[in-house]
Structure 1
Amino acid sequence: MWHRETGELWAFVPLSSLPLRFWVNVIKNPQFVFDIHKSSITDACLSVVAQTFMDSCSTSEHRLGKDSPSNKLLYAKDIPNYKSWVERYYRDITKMASISDQDMDAYLVEQSRLHASDFNVLSALSELYFYVTKYRQEVLSALDRDASCRKHKLRQKLEQIIGLVSSNS
């Protein structure tokens, strides 16, 4: 696939980079996005779906035989059809007109404005507190190592906040 602006040949990097870096991770780990518990059965099912997705985005042909894992055999007949969908998707993207940086910036600013009230500050603070208490020693050590953090006494301030929150809960 040719990159429009640089004129370089991308050896199907677009076919695998987005799915492997983002979507497969979201499929395999929905708890990263949603507040859910993932059972072992759900995990196994999601692994099959993720593997099928990866196979659909792969540029290499998979040879199946009697020793192939059952999860690969399950969707083997469907993979060629899925591959054609993926190829058409990227082909359609390459045909689209590029948008300018200014248009992208304007769109992001507008989206930020539209969803400014959607941010739940208390939920974000709760998640930060959970993270800080889970990795307390690592965070405090990192604050000790950084000269700017020491100058602003961030370790002491964070310990004070942890103490206040834990005494109130």
Structure 2
Amino acid sequence: MITPDLESGTKLWHLVKNHDHLDQREGDRGSKMVSEIYLTRLLATKGTLQKFVDDLFETIFSTAHRGSALPLAIKYMFDFLDEQADKHQIHDADVRHTWKSNCLPLRFWVNVIKNPQFVFDIHKSSITDACLSVVAQTFMDSCSTSEHKLGKDSPSNKLLYAKDIPNYKSWVERYYADIAKMPAISDQDMSAYLAEQSRLHLSQFNSMSALHEIYSYITKYKDEILAALEKDEQARRQRLRSKLEQVVDIMTLSG
């Protein structure tokens, strides 16, 4: 409430009256007025940003409109997940879809969408953060295989893109299907790709720090990893178990 005009006796209010807490019915009506005002603003803002959100989702979930070739690592990783599903006789398409969503869109892209300051030298205000959270939630819903039942009491950020999500979901499904149709990446090509990436970014990362993180993970799950290497035929041919044991022993003695 703005300070009342003592001469005229009128009071100025911001958007709605500051209702007495005892008058619950009148208070509900005021809240509804605010919600309707905000919803109109939300819809107008969504209309302004719609093309940018569409372009973002289309770029992420496309192998043809990226402006550059799909990284080999994505194809290699998705094929690995499909191989593991076949190996363990998992034929539920939703499981494969969820694995792929969890390892790339939901782990990487959602983080970038919600935190643009990780990529760009910008300041993220609280208002920008709230807006990006809506986009990120829509992105997550688009990757989900479950149907979201919405009603009049559902959050406005869920209702805002409710009609768009089925279309976005079809983009995600098409993206995974297009990658599955691409030629397989051989282990040799993948190794060459990783070696080239390491060479290009040689001075940008601390390799010893990365190795230490890997070592910390290995020591935590040492028994499970050694047992898995012993069971795997290719790992036995390359004697990976004994090599890993040697590395662990050397690190233990030097540490």
1:106-159 Cα offsets, whole Å, 9 max, x none, are 122223434557x4x9xx9xxxxxxxxxxxxxxxxxxxxx9966xxxxxxxxxx
Match of 1:3, as an amino acid?
A: D
2:98, 2:144 within 8 Å by CA — same for their partners in 1?
Answer: no
Inter-partner Cα distance in structure 2 for 1:103 and 1:147: 36
Which is further off, 52-61 or 29-38? 29-38
Higher radius of gyration, 1 or 2? 2
Matches of 1:109 and 1:23, distance apart in 2: 24
CA distance in 2, matches of 1:115, 1:32: 18
Which residue pairs with 1:157 in the alignment? none
Asked if structure 1 preserves the Cα contact closer than 8 Å seen for 2:143 and 2:169, the reply is yes
Q: Does 1:4 align with 2:83?
A: yes
Go from structure 1 to structure 2 and tell me whether the alpha carbon gap of 1:29 and 1:15 turns closer, same or farther (over 3 Å shift).
same
Q: Distance in 2 between matches of 1:92 and 1:54?
A: 20
Query: Equivalent residue for 2:184?
Result: 98
Rate the CA distance shift 1:147–1:44 in 2: closer, same or farther, 3 A: farther
RMSD over equivalenced CA pairs, Å: 2.8
CA–CA distance in structure 2, aligned partners of residues 147 and 35 of structure 1: 43
Is 1:82 aligned to 2:168, yes or no? yes
C-alpha separation between the residues in 1 aligned to 2:84 and 2:196?
Answer: 27
Which residue does 1:134 correspond to in 2? none
The higher relative CO (CA closer than 8 Å, separation ≥ 6) is in 2
Counting aligned pairs with the same residue, the percent is 76
Q: Distance in 2 between matches of 1:15 and 1:62?
A: 20
Match of 1:14 among 94, 99, 102: 99
Question: Which 10-residue stretch deviates more, 44-53 or 30-39?
Answer: 30-39
Does 2:143 correspond to 1:29?
Answer: no
Note the residue ranges of structure 1 that are not aligned, 5 or more in a row: 125-145, 150-169
Q: How many residues align?
A: 124
* Equivalent residues in 2 for 1:104-143, closer than 5 Å: 104-116=190-202, 119=204
Q: CA deviation at 1:15?
A: 4.5
In structure 1, distance between residues paired with 2:201 and 2:101: 31
Q: TM-score, normalised by structure 1?
A: 0.62
Q: Which runs of 5+ in 2 are unaligned?
A: 1-80, 207-251
